A and B are shown apart, each in its own frame.
Chain A
Amino acid sequence: MDLLAQILVNGILLGGLYAIMALGLALVWGVLNIVNLAHGAFIMLGAYVSWHLYTYAGIDPFLGLPITVVVMFVLGYIIQRGLLNLIVRAPMFNTLLITFGLEVVLTYLAQLAFSADFRTINPSYAGNSFQLGPVVLPLARLLAFAVAIILTVAMWLFLLHTRLGRAIRATAQNLVAARLYGVEPRHLYAMTFAIGVGLAGAAGGLYGTVSQINPYIGAALTAKSFAISIIGGLDNPLGVIVGGLFLGIIESLTAAYIGPTFADVASFGVLVLVLIVRPSGLLGRTA
Chain B
Amino acid sequence: MKSLQLIVVFAALIVLAAVPWFGSDVLIQFGINALLLAVLAQGWNIIGGYTGYASFGNSVFYGLGSYGVGIAMVQWELPFWAGLVFGVVLAVVFAVLLGIPVLRLRGHYFAIATLALAQVMAAIVSNVKLAGQNVGLVLPPLNDDRLFYELSLGLLVIATLTVFWLTRSRFGFGLIAIRENEEGAAVMGVNTTLYKVLAFSLSGIFSSLAGGIHAYWVTFIDPESAFDISLNVKMIIMAVFGGPGTVLGPIVGALSLSAISEFLSSEITSIAGLFFGIVVVAAVVLMPRGLADMFRRIPKTRWHYFAENIRAHRL
Q: Which of A101-121 contact B (CB under 8 A)?
A: 101-105, 107-109, 112
Check if A157 is an interface residue, CB within 8 A of chain B.
Answer: no
**In the bound complex, do residue A108 and residue B277 qualify as a contact, i.e. CB atoms below 8 Å apart?**
yes
Distance in Å: Cβ of A108 to nearest Cβ of chain B: 4
Question: Residue of B at shortest CB range from A275?
Answer: B113
Q: How far is the CA of A85 from the CA of B233 in the complex (A)?
A: 23
Check if A230 is an interface residue, CB within 8 A of chain B.
Answer: yes
Given contacts A86-B285, A279-B105, contact A100 B314 (CB under 8 A): no
Given contacts A35-B112, A223-B116, contact A87 B274 (CB under 8 A): no
Check if A62 is an interface residue, CB within 8 A of chain B.
Answer: no
Question: Residue of B at shortest CB range from A269?
Answer: B120
**In the bound complex, do residue B54 and residue A108 qualify as a contact, i.e. CB atoms below 8 Å apart?**
no
**In the bound complex, do residue A268 and residue B315 qualify as a contact, i.e. CB atoms below 8 Å apart?**
no
Q: Which of A8-16, A53-61, A257-265 lies on the face that meets chain B?
A: A257-265
Interface size range on B against A? 35 or more
By a CB distance below 8 angstroms, the chain B residues around A189 are: 315
Distance in Å: Cβ of B130 to nearest Cβ of chain A: 17
The residue from A87, A101, A109, A112 contacting B313, defined by CB atoms under 8 A apart: A87
**In the bound complex, do residue B281 and residue A98 qualify as a contact, i.e. CB atoms below 8 Å apart?**
yes
**In the bound complex, do residue A227 and residue B274 qualify as a contact, i.e. CB atoms below 8 Å apart?**
no
**In the bound complex, do residue A112 and residue B274 qualify as a contact, i.e. CB atoms below 8 Å apart?**
yes
**In the bound complex, do residue A265 and residue B123 qualify as a contact, i.e. CB atoms below 8 Å apart?**
yes
Check if A238 is an interface residue, CB within 8 A of chain B.
Answer: no
**In the bound complex, do residue B113 and residue A271 qualify as a contact, i.e. CB atoms below 8 Å apart?**
yes
**In the bound complex, do residue B314 and residue A272 qualify as a contact, i.e. CB atoms below 8 Å apart?**
no
Q: How many residues on chain A are close to B (CB under 8 Å)?
A: 45
Check if B137 is an interface residue, CB within 8 A of chain A.
Answer: no
Check if B278 is an interface residue, CB within 8 A of chain A.
Answer: yes
Q: Which of A174-220 contact B (CB under 8 A)?
A: 185-186, 189, 219
Q: How far is the CA of A92 from the CA of B115 in the complex (A)?
A: 16
**In the bound complex, do residue B240 and residue A185 qualify as a contact, i.e. CB atoms below 8 Å apart?**
no
Q: How far is the CA of A91 from the CA of B280 in the complex (A)?
A: 15
Question: Residue of B at shortest CB range from A223?
Answer: B119
**In the bound complex, do residue A261 and residue B123 qualify as a contact, i.e. CB atoms below 8 Å apart?**
yes
**In the bound complex, do residue A89 and residue B281 qualify as a contact, i.e. CB atoms below 8 Å apart?**
no
B37-61 vs A, Cβ < 8 Å mask (1 yes, 0 no)? 0000000000010000010000000
By a CB distance below 8 angstroms, the chain A residues around B233 are: 100
Given contacts A97-B236, A276-B105, contact A223 B270 (CB under 8 A): no
Q: Which of B47-80 contact A (CB under 8 A)?
A: 48, 54
The residue from A97, A230, A269 contacting B280, defined by CB atoms under 8 A apart: A97
By a CB distance below 8 angstroms, the chain A residues around B90 are: none
Given contacts A89-B312, A108-B273, contact A94 B120 (CB under 8 A): no
By a CB distance below 8 angstroms, the chain A residues around B279 are: 101
Given contacts A97-B280, A97-B284, A276-B101, contact A88 B313 (CB under 8 A): yes
Distance in Å: Cβ of A5 to nearest Cβ of chain B: 27
Question: Residue of A at shortest CB range from B273?
Answer: A108
Check if A93 is an interface residue, CB within 8 A of chain B.
Answer: yes
What are 24 A-to-B residue pairs whose CB atoms are below 8 Å? A35-B111, A83-B285, A85-B314, A86-B310, A87-B284, A88-B313, A91-B288, A92-B107, A94-B284, A97-B280, A98-B284, A101-B284, A112-B271, A186-B315, A189-B315, A226-B116, A227-B116, A261-B126, A261-B134, A265-B120, A275-B102, A275-B109, A275-B113, A276-B101
Binding site for B on A (CB under 8 A): 29, 35, 83, 85-94, 96-98, 100-105, 107-109, 112, 185-186, 189, 219, 223, 226-227, 230, 261-262, 264-265, 268-269, 271-272, 275-276, 279
Given contacts A89-B315, A271-B116, 8 further A-B contacts (CB under 8 A): A86-B314, A90-B284, A101-B284, A226-B116, A230-B109, A265-B120, A268-B116, A279-B105
Q: Which 6 A-B pairs have the closest CB atoms?
A: A104-B277, A101-B280, A105-B277, A108-B274, A101-B281, A90-B313
